[in-house]
Every structure is written in C-alpha cells, then in structure tokens.
Structure 1
Amino acid sequence: MSFAYVGSFTAPERGGLGHGGISIFSRRGAAEWESVQVVERVNPSFLAFDRERRFLYTVQGNGCFVAAYAIDAASGTLTLLNEKHIGLYNGVSLVVDPTNRWLLVTTLNNGSGAIVSLRLASEGKIGEICDIEVPQGAHGPLESQRATQPHQVVFDPSGKHLIVPDKGLDCIHSYRLDAETGRIFMNHAFRRFR
C-alpha cells in the first residue's frame, strides 16, 4: 500500500477554508487514491519525514509551532506525539538530519528569518532548541528584500552541508551542522553577480 501526506494552508488569511490540515491518502497498486484521515491543524504548510519514515514533522505557516506525529505503518494514519513553540513566526520549511537526531526549521519571522535546530528524541518527539542561526549579508535589490528570508532548508547529497536559499539576501547559504551538539555553522553564501 502507498500513502500520500499533503500539507495545506487552512487559515482564511492564507487562502484556506478555516478547517482541514494534513490530509492522508492511500492506494493499492494502480487503484484510485482514497482519503484515510484528515488531521485538523492550523496551516501545516510543509511536511518532512524522519530518515526511517516512522515520524512526520510539520511547520505552522503564520504560527510559531512545529509538531511531531507517529505514522502507523499499516494504515498510514498519524498520531500527535508533541508540538513545540519555537518562538519564531511563520515556519516555511524543515528537514531531519542524516543521523535522525536533529530537526532543522527555517522561519521568516516577520523580516528577521532564522534557521532553528531542535533535538529529536528516539521516540520521535521534538525536544529543546539547540541553536538559532540568523543569516547575515546585504539585502537584495528589491524593496521587498529588506531582511533575511530563508525559504527552504535541505541537506546536500553528502549529508554534511545545509543548503538554505534566501529570498531576502538574494543568495544561497551553505551551513554545517554539528551532529553532536546541534549547532549550526556558516560555510559560505553564494551570491549571483549583478
């Protein structure tokens, strides 16, 4: 059986209908997709699995929370493990590191975006914040580019470097994650020539 997990904007100010959240669908072979579950949650706009696909994590667009869910391997349904207030607004992307010990989240935070590192417990729960890195650099040429706006966080194929495109600073940041401490260290910012 195959499963699909779909995040969404639910709040009217983000074009949502005021309800819904994470939609789970299943299918066998080439059959039609069938709805399995809708987890009510405000603006679960971006989802990420852990490396073993036992847990699902979500940010909260227009909010300050991240949440962890356990995945039932047979049915595909989700059970909330916990949620964590990260103190920064409008999470836009997240990824679990190759060791399955850290959750990295990018936030826009009303013009002072950041990358947040959170510890993950072996049972999938989100633990304490270990580091907050605010990207630095000159802003882009447009009026809308007055501060850092990290829009995504992914690992490069080696799993050693974080890649963070920044709409506000008009560059792509490269960071290193210390797998022992969860600290984030800047490697380089790649800027296009103007």
Structure 2
Amino acid sequence: MSKRYLFSAIATAVVALLASSCGLLSMGRGAWGSNTSHEGVPTDKQIMLIGTYTDAGSEGVYSYTAEIGSLEFKHTGTFITPNPTYLAYDGGKRIVYIANEDNEQPMATSAQLDTRNGRLSAINSSYTLGDGPAYIATDSKNKVVTANYSGGSITLFEVNAKGELGQPDWRIVLGKERVSHPHAAIFSPNGKELFVTDLGMDKVFHFNVNANSNPPITIGINTTSLPSGVGPRHIIMDRSGKYTYVIAEKVPKIFVYEHHDGALELVQEVGLRLASGAHGQHIALSDDGRFLYTSHTDGEHVISIFKVDKGDGTLTQVGKQKVGKKPRQFTISPDGSVLAVACRGGDKVEFYQRDASTGLLTPIQGAGLKVSHPAFILWLGQH
C-alpha cells in the first residue's frame, strides 16, 4: 500500500472519529459549476456530449458536432462507460472527467476529447471508494472531486500531466451511513475553497483547499445549515464568487447567500409556485450573470427563470417554461442563444430559444435529439 493510499485510509478514519465525537461532520462561467465552455474547442464547430443512465438501453457518453449557429447535431461517436451521469471539462487539457454513478463499481473516469469530432478516448478510471458518485468537478489544475451520494462521502483525486486520475487520494466521510447524501461539490472561482451540498443532512459543507498542505483539503469552520427537510441538491457561484445559489430538491425553494471567506450569509429564500410533489434538480446562471434558471420534475416538469439583481444577488422570478418529462439537467449554448434540456423521462434533449434581454424561453419546433435516458449535457464551443 502506498503512503498516500495509507494516508487516505487514516484520514477517513480520523474524519469519521471527529464526526462521532465532536459533531464537526455529524448529523446535527456565468457561474462556477456551469456546463458550457468556450475553452479547448475549435472555432468552426460546436461539440455536445450527452451523459446517460445506462440501465435502459443507453451505452455511455454520446458525442455530437454541429456547425456554428446550427442545431443540426450529428452523432460522431459513443464512449462506452457505465452510468456517466455527470461530466466536468478541463479546457486547458481538453479532458472530460466523468462520474460513473454506480453502487457496484463507483468510479471516476478521465477521457481525452478529440476536438475535431467530439469523440472521447479513455485515459483511465479510478474507484471513488464511495458509492453512487452523482457529481464531479475539477479546479482545471490538478484536482478532481466527486460527491458520492450513496456513500455519504467526497473523494479527491490528483491528476498528472497526462490527465490520469491518481488513486482515490483522499476520501472524507461527511456523516452517518444512509443519512449523509452529498449531491454536489464545486470549487470556488479562485480554487481555494470547496463547497459540498449534503441533501440528507440539510447542510453545505465548506473546505479549505491548499495545494501545499497534506491533505490539500481540510474541513472549514463555516458549515451552513439549511431548514430541516429541504434537501439541498445543487450549488453554484457567480463569476465573482460573491454570491452563491442552492436549489433544494425536496421543497420548491432556492437559497441565495453572500459569500465571505467561506462563510455563507443568507440574503434571500425564494419560494417557487409549483404543483405539489415537484422536485428540484439543477440550477445555472447565464454567462452574463443576469438570469438564473432551475429545473423541477414530477409535480411539474418546468424550467423556472429568474432575473438576478447584480447589486445584491437577489432573485425575481420572470417566467416559467414547460418542458419534457423529467428535466434532470440543462445547459445554455456557448453563445447564450439556446437552452438545452436533458429530459430523462422523455428520452430526448430539447432545445429552447433564449431571449438574452428577458431571459425567457421559446420551444424550437423540430429541433432536438433522441437519446435514451439523458442525464447531462456538456456544450462546448465559441461565443
């Protein structure tokens, strides 16, 4: 066993002990975390990568390309990998990191992107040592983190110059088994902080990131508690890192925070008027930071639209757009003109025209992609 792997095991045990004895971790572009990139892609085409659930006929990540300004995407390849339900892109290295959301073989996978055709080729995979990795993020330097929903933990990997994921270098258990359910993890814009939403514990955990320390992430003192039972799912920050937005899954609410050196100060709690049983899924900001979008499933299948007050970060709802069944995730095109929705229940990706001045959406008739159980869309291209 390597020293690093041994340290990982020791760190996990220490954190678990702290959780039980001290209560520290026990029960008790437009945005950071967006899915559009302008880096590491050619100027003559767009690339779309669609991650899927592979339990119903899908095979992995599907690659598509289209000319600039066109929605006529052509399938160019399939990267076969189990349950690739979340992706993260490092434009500098042209590497896509994949969360393989599986309880039998929970992994993170690294793949090289061929920007000529959008195809992926495997670099390597590494076990997360935590079940159900539902989210993956990179600091675009040499760190990758997964949020392991079923395992109640996060796992940090170091990446070498070739893009290879190391061993699961550090795994941190956030809480008791079957209680803690981390659903998202994002690095702050400056890369010095990491925020993790725990849906089961109704908390946002804060970690300090220091490349010169061992381990490079340490639990901060600024854990944020949300109202009991809301289930914080996804989290994003604006480009400046000043404002943070959290979407709840179990209740139709968005929480707006002002960020001060790791501390999140609540400035607004936004209630959405949705049908009973609606569950929050995803949250994203437009590239200019003027509008925020959320998706909800079940009681209603909708994208909600909010105008952002650039002065204090608060939200005002300006619209709501019905979409296909079970809109798990969505993203905005690199030029900001189109919003694409992964409708898991409808086996399709839908496209909506986006008005940059109002933020409102209009269905684009005849456009879309048939994909079995789409879970995630990564849209790469130039402005």
TM-score range, shorter chain: 0.7 to 0.9
Output the CA distance in 2 between the equivalents of 1:5 and 1:20. 13
| Greater gyration radius | 2
TM-score between both structures, scaled by the size of structure 1: 0.84
In structure 2, relative to structure 1, the CA distance for the partners of 1:76 and 1:53 (3 Å cut) is farther
Q: Identity percentage over the alignment?
A: 20
**Superposition RMSD in Å:** 2.0
Instruction: Select which of 118, 131, 135 maps to 1:89.
Output: 131
Contact 1:155 1:162 in 2 (8 A): yes
Deviations 1:64-98 (A, max 9, x none): 11111011122221110111123221111111124
1:70 is matched with 112
1:21 is matched with 60
Output the CA distance in 1 between the equivalents of 2:114 and 2:143. 22
Q: Give the structure with the higher percent strand.
A: 2
State whether structure 2 residue 93 is matched by structure 1 residue 61: no
Greater shift, 166-175 or 83-92, is seen at 83-92
Secondary structure at the counterpart of residue 48 of structure 2 = strand
Please report how far the alpha carbon of residue 127 of structure 1 lies from its aligned counterpart in structure 2 after TM superposition.
1.0
Counterpart AA for 1:56: V
TM-score between both structures, scaled by the size of structure 2: 0.44
Output the CA distance in 2 between the equivalents of 1:91 and 1:104. 10
Counterpart AA for 1:85: Y
1:191 is matched with 225
What residue ranges of structure 2 are gaps of 5+ in the alignment? 1-44, 229-383
**Number of residue pairs matched by the alignment:** 179
Contact 1:118 1:182 in 2 (8 A): no
State whether structure 2 residue 92 is matched by structure 1 residue 45: no
Contact 2:202 2:227 in 1 (8 A): no
State whether structure 2 residue 7 is matched by structure 1 residue 7: no
- Greater relative contact order (CA < 8 Å, ≥ 6 in sequence): 2
In structure 2, relative to structure 1, the CA distance for the partners of 1:53 and 1:5 (3 Å cut) is farther
Deviations 1:34-69 (A, max 9, x none): 111111111011111125151011111123111110
Output the CA distance in 1 between the equivalents of 2:52 and 2:133. 13
Structure 1 residues 21-170: aligned runs within 5 Å? 21-31=60-70, 32-52=72-92, 54-62=94-102, 63-98=105-140, 100-109=141-150, 112-136=151-175, 147-170=179-202
Output the CA distance in 1 between the equivalents of 2:84 and 2:93. 18
State whether structure 2 residue 205 is matched by structure 1 residue 173: yes
